[in-house]
């Protein structure tokens, strides 16, 4: 089964609870197993600054679902957490889940791009990814450590430590 990396972000409500429960919700999806989470990081919002800071983390897990099926499951989890889809880019949200990597796959479809289209420009993605796997190679872009060098930081700071913590163990 491919190893999948998913970014979790929240800047509305109990941000930490949304991230932790979001990871647990992913763990409960049939076909997903052995989920581990990075530390939680806090960053300034990307885009409009008239919104609360984000908490972000990344989780990694084995996945037996096809990428588009997993995307549907993640969107259902976002809705469960009160996410309202709108056309305003980078708007505040209780929970945002993005598939960053799906094994070594490269996908470019109307509704899904893997590796995630902004992966190389987002410290709130690269720092947690590097924490989970410092030798990780992002297909078509290079190693995560090299990508971190030129990445804008968005005021990133560690909010809570927890590299590699199994979500199953934390339940």
- Enumerate the active-site residues: 83, 93, 96, 98
Any bridge partners for residue 107, and if so which?
114
- Cα separation, 23 vs 46, in Å, equals 22
- Cα separation, 171 vs 167, in Å, equals 6
- Cα separation, 47 vs 37, in Å, equals 26
- Cα separation, 51 vs 92, in Å, equals 6
Burial (Cβ within 10 Å: 0-12, 13-18, ≥19) of residue 152:
exposed
């Amino acid at each position: 089964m491919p190893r999948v990396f998913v970014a979790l972000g929240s800047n509305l409500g109990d941000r930490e609870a949304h991230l932790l429960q979001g990871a647990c919700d992913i763990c409960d999806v049939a076909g997903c197993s052995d989920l581990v989470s990075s530390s939680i990081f806090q960053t300034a919002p990307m885009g409009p600054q008239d919104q609360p800071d984000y908490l972000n983390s990344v989780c990694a897990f084995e996945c037996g679902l096809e990428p588009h099926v997993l995307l549907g499951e993640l969107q259902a989890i976002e809705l469960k957490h009160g996410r309202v889809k709108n056309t305003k880019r980078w708007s505040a949200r209780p929970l945002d889940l993005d598939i960053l990597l799906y094994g070594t796959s490269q996908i470019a479809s109307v509704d899904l791009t893997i590796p995630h289209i902004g992966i190389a420009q987002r410290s709130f993605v690269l720092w947690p990814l590097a924490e989970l796997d410092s030798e990780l190679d992002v297909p078509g872009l290079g190693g995560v450590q090299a990508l971190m060098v030129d990445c804008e930081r968005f005021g990133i700071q560690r909010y809570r430590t927890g590299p590699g913590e199994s979500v199953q163990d934390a339940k």
